[in-house]
Amino acid sequence: MGNYNAEKNYKEKNRSLKKAKRSNTPYQWEKFRKVRNKCNTAVENAKTDYYKKLSDKIMNEPVNSKNWSEMVKSLFGRQHKEIPLLKVNDEIIDDREKMADIFNVYFSDQSNIDDSNVQLPDLEKFTSELSTIEITEKDVEDILLNLDTSKAIGPDCLEQHYTLTIFSHQQ
């Protein structure tokens, strides 16, 4: 509803501005200023409502990687190249290394498991070992030809389409 009011007020502001420019009377200019202020208030209210809902979503809902990227994109869009400032305990952080440390501490705390009072089960000792692994050229070829090029890079830091290009040139 807030977004609809902002759009409606924006259109009304533009119509009022055209009328004020056309007539150039003090009455129309005063009317335009009132409509403009009403529009600005509606836009600010819509923004506040949007960020409040997003904040509630971040704070109260479980976040998986897909939700997280959607939230980040909705907040910052795809065009932003600068790293935004970070506010922690009413302190604005602008140092990238300090930001990385803060995120590292936060996310590592999310995955800590208190296993100090846990008794591990007794397991039989595994005595057999793997002596040989045979990997044929055909096995490697099958894996390379079935790489999903839409996936993220692997531990070799090469994108899958580069790996496929290199492989196809070696053929």
Pair (6, 66) in one structural domain: yes
Pair (31, 61) in one structural domain: yes
pLDDT score for 157: 76
Pair (19, 56) in one structural domain: yes
Pair (101, 39) in one structural domain: no
Q: Measured between alpha carbons, how far apart are the two ends of the chain, in Å?
A: 60
Strand partners, 91: 88
Rounded distance between C-alpha atoms, residue 37 and residue 35, angstroms: 5
pLDDT score for 3: 59
Pair (21, 60) in one structural domain: yes
In a domain? residue 135: no
Q: Dihedrals φ, ψ of 159, to 5°?
A: -70, 150
Residue-number span of the structural domain to which 93 is assigned: 82-110
Q: Which of 28, 61, 76 is the last residue of a domain?
A: 76
pLDDT score for 2: 52
Neighbours of 16 (CB within 10 A): 21
Number of structural domains (the chain) is 2
Pair (39, 105) in one structural domain: no
Full-model pTM: 0.38
Q: In degrees, to the nearest 5, what angle opens at C-alpha 98 toward C-alphas 92 and 104?
A: 115
Pair (86, 15) in one structural domain: no
In a domain? residue 136: no
Pair (2, 62) in one structural domain: yes
Radius of gyration of the chain (CA): 29
In a domain? residue 55: yes
pLDDT score for 27: 92
In a domain? residue 171: no
pLDDT score for 78: 62
Pseudo-torsion of CA 15, 17, 23, 25, nearest 10°? 130
Q: Are 71 and 58 in contact (CB under 8 A)?
A: yes
pLDDT score for 171: 65
Q: Dihedrals φ, ψ of 78, to 5°?
A: -95, -15
pLDDT score for 18: 92
Q: Which of 25, 54, 76 is the last residue of a domain?
A: 76
Rounded distance between C-alpha atoms, residue 59 and residue 4, angstroms: 26
In a domain? residue 125: no
pLDDT score for 50: 83
Rounded distance between C-alpha atoms, residue 3 and residue 71, angstroms: 18
Give the orientation angle of helix 26-60 with respect to helix 65-76, to 10 degrees.
Answer: 160
pLDDT score for 33: 92
In a domain? residue 40: yes
Pair (56, 93) in one structural domain: no
In a domain? residue 91: yes
Pair (70, 1) in one structural domain: yes
List the pLDDT tens digit at each of the 171 positions of the chain: 455 677 888 888 889 999 999 999 999 999 999 999 988 888 888 888 888 887 787 777 777 777 777 777 777 666 656 778 888 888 998 888 998 999 898 888 887 777 888 888 888 877 777 788 889 988 988 888 888 878 777 777 777 777 777 777 666
In a domain? residue 132: no
pLDDT score for 1: 47
